[in-house]
Structure 1
Amino acid sequence: MISVAVVGAETPGNVGTIARAMKNFGLSDLYLVDPPALDPEGEAYGFAGHAREDVLPNATETTFDDLVERFHTVGTTAVTNEDARKHVRYPYRTPADLADSLRDVETDTCVVFGRERVGLTNEELARLDEVVSIPASAEYPVLNLGQAATVVLYELRDLSVAETQHPDAVERADEPEIEGLHEQFAALLERINHPEGKRAKTARLFRRLVGRAHPTPREARTLRGVFRRAAMFADPPDDD
């Protein structure tokens, strides 16, 4: 199970934003260390969206020591060390790497986010089990606390969300339908008198394009209809 902790948040709105991201990606257990006051009429609940109904009001106030004792902990940071000589912030995983590492492990993990201005201190990170960092631009790697939490929790969604609003896979048109699309495209090239020496290359480019696109049945039917009508309105080839 994956939980989320926020240490020393200064802005109630960021707590609400993190609660909302948790709701988006199927997480419910929120722990707060030294939180600001969270007024039900204030910005925390205003920013939380539907998480104001369950995630945020059910958040547990706790201590940093309790997090370390109870969970496999993952600290988040924008600032990392480059090599193993300074290992407080090294080695580190990307959020996607973290998701892969937790996929086949049964453990109660808590992803720990720090303060808006300074994040987690070296002393705090030294007590946590792992470090994760978002690979942002070297020119400006520091994300807003709410943004960082949203990115990390998005990458962990496969571990926490049983079902999303998106289908597992896009339905691809069957091969006869796609081959019919290629046949109609070839016929259209002939109908518009595309240079004969270029038709094979153009048809091949179109085949590669369609191959990468994996059109759905509806897309293939629509394109076939367009090509059919285009051929009807095209001038016939000049036989002279």
Structure 2
Amino acid sequence: MGFPIILVSPARPENIGAAARAMKTMGFSELRIVASDAHLQPATRWVAHGAGDIIDNIKIYPTLADAVDDVDFVVATTARSRAKFHYYATPEQLVPLLHEKQQWMGNIALVFGREDSGLTNEELALADILTGVPMVADYPSLNLGQAVMVYCYQLASLMQTKPVAAVSGQHQQLDALRHRISALLENLNVADDNKMSDWLTQRLGLLEQRDTAMLHRLLHDIEKKLAE
């Protein structure tokens, strides 16, 4: 299973180096960067110390949408509630959720936002689930390198698990489910009910494979009935 770490518009090369070092320590190897060339500065390698192979193989993308185009499940980190998203998982809660996803998805991405402003609402909308680190301090902030280390440490067990060969097409079930639900809401003339639409969209990322398959069956029956 692929598990790329994605940094969106990182400004400080030291943070990129620290992220690469954390990844290397915990068994992650693929680093993607969106809209930044800060990794080209010497400070990146100075801080990366021993993780030069990760720096050498960084993949660059113009937008986050491009960076996750081949990803089956997107986890986005955020320090605060943004826009319409309300469902979060702590790093610890992500472990069993992503272990289950490993059984039927090809790759999962973990996305980190800008040092000063995080991810935009449009970027957060690309995520299947949001995650944040519970903080005790009055000013809840981790720098980028620290945040990557926290998640890589917590999720390191995923890199040690031998993935089960998924049945062809299973990894596309979640995306297909979103399209079917959107079409159904349009058909029922309730697509403008933002509260219901947002709730459905947000909850889909929490579904296990068998729940996703069962919901597909239910939607099929509903669609068939509406077509009569």
Instruction: Tell me if TM exceeds 0.5.
Output: yes
Q: Hey, what does 2:145 align to over in structure 1?
A: 146
What do the CA deviations read for 1:45-69 (whole angstroms, capped 9, x no partner)? 01101111x1111010123122332
Structure 1 letter corresponding to 2:37: P
Q: Does 1:92 align with 2:62?
A: no
Equivalent AA in structure 1 for residue 146 of structure 2: Q
Cα distance in structure 1, aligned partners of 2:69 and 2:59: 15
The CA distance in 2 between the partners of 1:10 and 1:140, in whole Å, is: 21
Q: Helix, strand or coil for the counterpart of 1:74?
A: strand
Map 1:57-206 onto structure 2 (within 5 A): 57-62=56-61, 63-71=63-71, 72-80=73-81, 87-88=84-85, 90-106=86-102, 107=105, 108-137=107-136, 139-161=138-160
Q: Give the deviation of 1:35 after TM superposition.
A: 1.7
The Cα offsets for residues 91-118 of structure 1, whole Å up to 9 and x where unpaired, read as 0000111111011322210000011111
Q: Which residue of 2 aligns with 1:46?
A: 46
* 1:19 counterpart = 2:20: yes
The one of the two structures with greater contact order (alpha-carbon pairs below 8 A, sep at least 6) is: 2
State whether residues 13 and 44 of structure 2, in contact with CA within 8 Å, keep that contact through their aligned partners in structure 1.
Answer: yes
C-alpha contact (below 8 Å) 1:94/1:132 kept by paired residues? yes
1:144 maps to amino acid? N
Output one character per residue of 1:139-187: Cα deviation in whole Å (capped at 9) or x when no partner: 121111111111011100111147xxxxxxxxxxxxxxxxxxxxxxxxx
Q: What is the letter of the counterpart of residue 97 of structure 2? A: S
Greater gyration radius? 1
- What letter is aligned with 2:130? V
Distance apart, 1:130 and its partner CA: 1.0
Gaps of 5+ in 1: 163-240
Aligned residues: 155
Identity %: 38
SS in 2 for 1:143: coil
Moved over 3 A (4+): none
For 1:47, what is the secondary structure of its paired residue? helix
Aligned-residue Cα RMSD (Å) equals 1.7
Between the aligned partners of 1:113 and 1:129, the Cα distance in structure 2 is: 14
Structure 1 position 39, deviation (Å): 3.3
Q: Which amino acid counterpart does residue 84 of structure 2 have in structure 1? A: H
Q: 8 Å contact 1:5–1:113 — kept in the other structure?
A: yes
Give the drift of 1:138.
5.3
Q: 2:158 and 2:127 mapped to 1: Cα distance?
A: 21
Tell me the secondary structure at the aligned position of residue 13 of structure 1.
helix
TM-score (norm 2): 0.64
For the 8 Å contact 2:12–2:38, the answer to whether it is kept is: no
User: What is the TM-score when the length of structure 1 is the normalising length?
Assistant: 0.61
